[in-house]
Amino acid sequence: MEIDRSTRNVFGNISELYDKARIGYPRQLIEDIIAFSEIKKRGKILDVGCGTGQATVPFAQKGFTVLGVDLGKELVEIARQKCAIFPNAQFMVGSFEDLSFPPQSFDLIISGMAWHWINPGNREEKAFQLLSTKGTIALFWSYQQKQKSLFVQAVGKILDRYGGVDRGPAGSKVRQIADSLYEQFNSNKMIKDVRRKEYDEDLKFTTESYLDLVLSYGWVQALSEYQRSDLICDLQKLFVDCPKLIVVPYQHVLILAKLA
């Protein structure tokens, strides 16, 4: 699937909004990654596209040695502040494609809502080289289940007019991305075990926090100021008839792959 990666650098410009608006991940998803990977207590984890630490923090809390990498220095700074109490968490600014590490440096590589931003040319090959024997890669995404929510459907119609069909958050291509990677991993002889897991949960938003979520997406930031203003206006018209708390059905998709 073709992904427009031209906006992957914009998130550093909206680091505080990104940190405030983006959701975290279910506890069970984190636990399932740990169980599948069989990582030891002091095992080493690489968090690719760590953002402001949404996935880094729960692993650091459990005592694992975590290195988060991201293109956005402002994002990394927020993640560093959030993990200041965890000496086992470190961060680097840079792209996964350009950063260099010795082979077998990590026991587990994780990437939440970020793997699709990495150039697909050799990303899996590089990840496998960086993993220890029987190491694990865990890739996960979150998306709103449009078919379960009239609100998400209504938002989706507005977003489609500005960003094209199925742009996030009210509509997403990440499920297709996850399905494609699952098939790739299943046919890769370097991998001995592949799993796909899904986690459903309902999250509550105010109209303000939902608007923040929309504005935290790269394609929205790439709009002209005029277009973005019109988008906000259209959403606010929709929000007039919404309750104070909006329940949005989410699904988190996790792809796990363990090397032979």
Fold (CATH) for 11-145+171-202+249-259? Rossmann fold (3.40.50)
Q: What's the Rg (C-alpha) of the chain?
A: 18
pLDDT of residue 257: 98
* Per-residue pLDDT band at 203 (split at 50, 70, 90): very high
Q: Residue 128 above 90 pLDDT?
A: yes
43-59, pLDDT tens digit by residue?
999 999 999 999 999 99
| Global pTM value | 0.93
In the chain, where are the structural domains located? 11-145+171-202+249-259
What is the pLDDT of the chain when averaged over all its residues?
Answer: 94
132-165, pLDDT tens digit by residue?
999 999 999 999 999 999 999 999 999 999 998 8
pLDDT of residue 175: 87
What is the mean pLDDT of the segment spanning 96-122? 94
Q: What is the largest CA-CA distance in the chain?
A: 56
Q: Residue 180 above 70 pLDDT?
A: yes
Cis peptide before 169 (omega within 30 of 0): yes
| DSSP character string of 130-153 | HEEEEEEEEEEEEEE-GGG-HHHH
